[in-house]
Amino acid sequence: MPKPISEITTMQYGGGCPKKFLHDFMKRNERDISEARAIAEKIVDDVRHNGDKAVLSYTKELDGAVLSPNQMLVKKTEISEAYTKIDPKFFEVLKRAIKRVRAYHEKQKVSGWLDVFGEGEMMGQMVRPIESCGVYVPGGTAPLVSSLIMLTVPAKTAGVKKLVVTTPPGKNGKIDPSLIVAAIETGVDEIYKVGGAQAIAAMAFGTETIPKVDKIVGPGSIYVIMAQRAVYGYVGIASLPGPSEIVVIADETASAGHVAADMLSQAEHGETSSSILITDSRSLVEKVQKEVIKQAKNLTRRDIIAASLAKNGLVIIVDDILDAVKLSDVLAPEHLALEVAEPLALLSRVNNAGAVFLGHETPEPLGDYMAGPSHVLPTETTARFFSPISVDDFIKKTSVIYFDKHATHKIKDDVISFAETEGLTAHANAVRVRG
């Protein structure tokens, strides 16, 4: 049973430097990753040099599944079987979710441009999709169908030609039918029953069976994340996702039941997840404390919730609700819920957050499953410089430059001056020979 939130951590913010105030709490998830990094790098190196043999060895050792090379790829017969096994009602839900996510990401598409910048000059930008991408979908106690959708739909919307999914198999060598169906419905080209760091390495370097891709996206264990870090540069990667987190900013108009439910929904992700309430209402704190205990009694993952709240649960009491936004910007949370009377007024002051949920009737799980934006968001304060997964993650841009002879002549002396100042005489010569 979770302790009351106030018995876990309650802090009074009286102004001053938000960074200093939150320094100790923000160090909560600092951990020694050296061992995980070493293990991941060993696996990556092994797969790079030994291909399928190494992948299958780790699949047997770590996932308990014994596969042959020709069993890694999900075949057409398995796809057909998956469609017969998926719950028909969930299949309809799945299709509605894909439709909403696709509609949102269609609005993110951008076009190239070409424009005149002066007499005889044209400059522009080409936008092209990345040709091949790999999507990693974590395994675990339940199939993360929503994560697959939130990663593959933006990729296909961007126009990725070859989209590959890898996900860990069960000990029986199979993957959940709903994952297979979701992959096919979103346009995935190939699905491989491979998980862990070995899957990242396989997609980064290619094996006899699994193709090399240009970019890899997707959350996973610390070993998966360390493997992505190890292969960066050989392939592109997106942000490196960490534990889930939510900050709820609430005033006296907030429902204690809603606030508690939103905090609990993040705490159940894992013991390293963080759930933070920032409020200017002391009476709300007491009500939320009671609601957390009451609601947690009926939740299946209450032991995980208890551990998460004990380590990473926090209530901050502020005198002014505007101070709540200042503190939130320092935390740069994955999810920010504005459960206040005028959420739009606070939204204009928010700088750092992966996703913002406005008002009392917008629970965070809407964003996890059905709203439309991808739920793959920056974590661990990286919303200061990273963005949610979007169409932008699956495109690349190319500059286009055209000068005619007259336009080149007009600025040739300036270019020659730059080149000679930098000691690059061949650069200067390439302009000078054109007269």
pLDDT in tens, the chain (435 residues): 555 565 667 889 888 888 888 887 776 556 678 899 999 999 999 999 999 999 999 999 999 999 999 999 999 999 999 999 999 999 999 999 999 999 999 999 999 999 999 999 999 999 999 999 999 999 866 789 999 999 999 999 999 999 999 999 999 999 999 999 999 999 999 999 999 999 999 999 999 999 999 999 999 999 999 999 999 999 999 888 888 999 999 999 999 999 999 999 999 998 889 999 999 999 999 999 999 999 999 999 999 999 999 888 999 999 999 999 999 999 999 999 999 999 999 999 999 999 999 999 999 999 999 999 999 999 989 999 999 999 999 999 999 999 999 999 999 999 999 999 999 999 999 999 997
- The per-residue pLDDT for range 155-164, each reduced to its tens digit, is 999 999 999 9
- Residue environment code for 376-411, b if the CB has 16+ CB neighbours within 10 A, otherwise e: bbbbbbbbeebebbbbbbbbeeeeeeebeeebeeee
Same domain, 148 and 231: yes
- Which of 245, 335, 364, 380 is the catalytic position? 335
pLDDT digits (tens, 9 = 90+) for 50-89: 999 999 999 999 999 999 999 999 999 999 999 999 999 9
Alpha helices for 207-281 (secondary structure H)? 222-231, 256-267
Q: Within a domain: residue 68?
A: yes
Strand, helix or coil for residue 412: helix
Q: Is 363 helix (H, G, I), strand (E, B) or coil?
A: coil
Residues 359 and 420 in one domain: no
Among 372, 394, 421, the domain-final residue is 372
pTM: 0.92
Do the domain assignments include residue 272? Answer: yes
Residues 355 and 377: their CA atoms lie apart, in Å, by 7
Number of C-beta neighbours around residue 199 at 10 A: 32
The reply to whether 201 and 253 lie within a common domain is no
Residue 54 lies in a domain: yes
Q: Do 126 and 11 have their domain in common?
A: no
Are residues 154 and 129 in contact, defined by beta-carbon separation less than 8 angstroms? no
Residue 290 lies in a domain: yes
335 labelled catalytic: yes
105 catalytic residue (yes or no): no
> How many whole angstroms separate alpha carbon 263 and alpha carbon 278?
12
Backbone conformation region of residue 64, classed left if phi is above 0, alpha if psi is from -120 to 50, else beta: left
Q: 305: domain range?
A: 5-29+243-372
Q: Which of 291, 334, 364, 380 is catalytic?
A: 334
Rounded CA-CA distance 359/372 in Å is 17
